Structure 1
Amino acid sequence: MAPAAETPFDASERRAWAGRAAAYGAGFGRLCAHTVPRLLDAAGVTAATRLLDVGTGTGTAAAAAAARGAEVTAVDAEPDMVRTATAAAPGATVRLAALPQLPFSDAAFDAVVGNFVLNHVGRPRAALAELRRVTRPGGRIALTVWAAPPAPGQALLGRAVQAAGVPRPTDIPALAPEDDFPRTAEGLAELLRTAGGLSAVECSAVSWEHRTTLEEWWRGPAAGVATIGRVVTSQGPATVERVKSHFTALAAEFTAPDGQLVLPHTALLASGRVDG
């Protein structure tokens, strides 16, 4: 099979995450870890489950699944993430690989999970078809994405960028309209049914308040982590400071009496079964 062509969105994502595993893990990684237990439950991960964790990042889901006794294989498209996840999840086999083409045989796994991985692929429908291919009949696939419109805490950094008048750089493409899907419970569930061909699909919102500090929450964007970080750092140090000033002012509405930031977030968690 010929390698799948990389979309401009995919290429942009590679640039956004290159060499940033440590910066991600220290901030946004803690946020994304919140959904891991429910994600593994939705996939039915127990002892001896042959699990694939796609887009493992710093290995949080892989480590948690290994702690349950699962036989874990994890992949990520970024070499720095693979190195970090290998150290964080010694009970897992971690490999470099990217959707929508994985180096595994058909029906190789009992279950597949992807914690926010669909947010970072250029062809979500092709990605889902590939996840179905590597899952055995009767196995489950469970995925999370960020809800849209975003919860107030999730929108904070974007509001600061907007207040500072910083445009999205032209070299950061959005997902092609024909590849996108509604980031709602109904939209994600329909994607699993149609592109993934899954049955018994369930999808629900997961809301929580992420507690962090002003310094921690700013550190990731200032280091260029994720798309928001690339926007923040796109025009040099003066722009970074201007965005930081607006971020500090806007963060006041989320600051608790103890000085911590309390940021409301909402994700969507969907799962379904692969039929034979």
Structure 2
Amino acid sequence: MTPFDESERRAWAGNASAYEAGFGRLCAHPVPRLLDAARVGEGVRVLDVGTGAGSVAAAAGVRGAVVTAVDAEPDMARRARRAAPGARVQIAALPQLPYRTSQFDAVVGNFVLNHVGRPRAALDELRRVARPGGWIALTIWAAPAAPGQALLGRAVQAAGVQRPAELPPLAPEDDFPRTVDGLAGMLRGAGLTDAGCRALSWDHRTTPEEWWSGPAAGVATIGRIVCSQGPAGIERIRRHFTALAAEFVTPDGALVLPHTALLGYGRVPA
């Protein structure tokens, strides 16, 4: 496990409820297209890696798929079991999954590559457990970030807050371009055929209070950065967030945030 992986485990530990109430709704947006890209339908044996609160597993179950799902965080796994009662949900983490080679017809990961320290090794493991001819589909956040996705980071920067040393970034040698070409190229580099990628853009509708509640509760890396500052620092970031959020607030008080994700897909050679 890399230092980045260890930091990610700490960032998500015990935060399933706060994630589900805010960021979870955002991350559920690409689910139908993710499942379409992996050809998930009736009777398909699908593995959902990094299931979180279970939105992908639940949607795959509605399609009649035979669903297995994993997450590294036990509280996330518990929520996924409630969301997708027909799925087999286990605790496991990339890049080592407890499944046989070629066990699944389709493998999907909704934003999971954003949270692993060795993305290429993770992708190799996803390929290992997918059968020849099976599809792999993944979403990641695009870089540079869309305006709505960048809002919280801008508030932290405006408050003069630096990323704490105990939150290591992904090692440069493990990173890859978070672009259409970058993700498609990594999929091809893993030996997948018919590989491609497309950008998905949408406006996420929330409220300033809901959007602030996630980082204020310590959710994800941004939450750990916010909460590392103590009460006075947190309040300073919140004031900047409120001021910057005003450009995205509609007359009815909603916060409408433009986001862009990348959907990559490819097929294991038959």
TM-score range, shorter-chain basis?
over 0.9
Deviations 1:166-207 (A, max 9, x none): 11000000000110000000000011111x210101100000
- Determine which of 74, 99, 102 is the counterpart of 1:104: 99
What runs of 5+ residues in structure 2 fail to find an aligned partner? none
Whether 1:218 aligns to 2:199 is no
Residues 206-263 of structure 1: per-residue CA shift (max 9 Å, x gap): 0000000010000000000001000011021111110000000000000011110010
Separation in 1, partners of 2:159, 2:134: 47
1:53 and 1:208 mapped to 2: Cα distance?
23
Match of 1:52, SS? strand
Q: Tell me the residue number matched to 1:236.
A: 230
Out of 159, 164, 167, which is 2:159 matched to? Answer: 164
CA distance in structure 1 between the partners assigned to 2:186 and 2:167 by the alignment: 25
Superposition pairs for residues 98-247 of structure 1, below 5 Å? Answer: 98-194=93-189, 196-247=190-241
Amino acid at match of 2:112: V
Give the AA of the match of 2:239. Answer: S
The residue number in structure 2 matching 1:3 is none
Q: Aligned partners of 1:248 and 1:183: how far apart in 2?
A: 28
Match for residue 47 of structure 1?
A: 42
Q: Please state how far the C-alpha of 1:91 moved relative to its aligned partner.
A: 1.2
- Residue type of the alignment partner of 1:122: G
Q: Does 1:26 align with 2:21?
A: yes
Quote the offset at 1:25 in angstroms.
0.3
1: distance between equivalents of 2:110 and 2:61? 16
Question: How do residues 78-97 of structure 1 correspond to structure 2 at under 5 angstroms?
Answer: 78-97=73-92
Partner deviation per Cα, 1:83-103 (whole Å, 9 max, x = no partner): 111111101100000000000
> TM-score scaled to structure 1, two decimals?
0.97
AA in 2 matched with 1:80: D
Aligned length: 270
Deviation at 1:106, TM superposition (A): 0.5
User: What SS does the aligned partner of 1:100 have?
Assistant: coil
**1:83-137 CA-partner distances (Å, limit 9, x unpaired):** 1111111011000000000000000000000000000000000000000000000
Report the Cα distance in structure 1 between the residues aligned to 2:25 and 2:76, rounded to whole angstroms: 15
Runs of 4+ in 1 over 4 A off after TM superposition: none
One-letter amino acid of the structure 1 residue matched with residue 18 of structure 2? A
Over the matched positions of the two proteins, sequence identity in percent amounts to 74
Name the residue aligned to 2:261: 267
Whole-Å Cα distance in 1 between the matches of residues 172 and 192 of structure 2? 23
Counterpart amino acid of residue 243 in structure 1: I
Paired residue type of 2:93: A
* SS across alignment from 2:41: coil
State the one-letter code of the partner of 2:12.
W
Aligned 1:8-23 pairs, distance under 5 A: 8-23=3-18
Helix, strand or coil for the counterpart of 2:53? coil
Please report how far the alpha carbon of residue 268 of structure 1 lies from its aligned counterpart in structure 2 after TM superposition: 0.2
Whole-Å separation in 2 of the counterparts to 1:257 and 1:197: 50
Per the TM alignment, residue 146 of structure 1 is displaced from its structure 2 partner at its CA by: 0.1
RMSD, matched Cα: 0.5
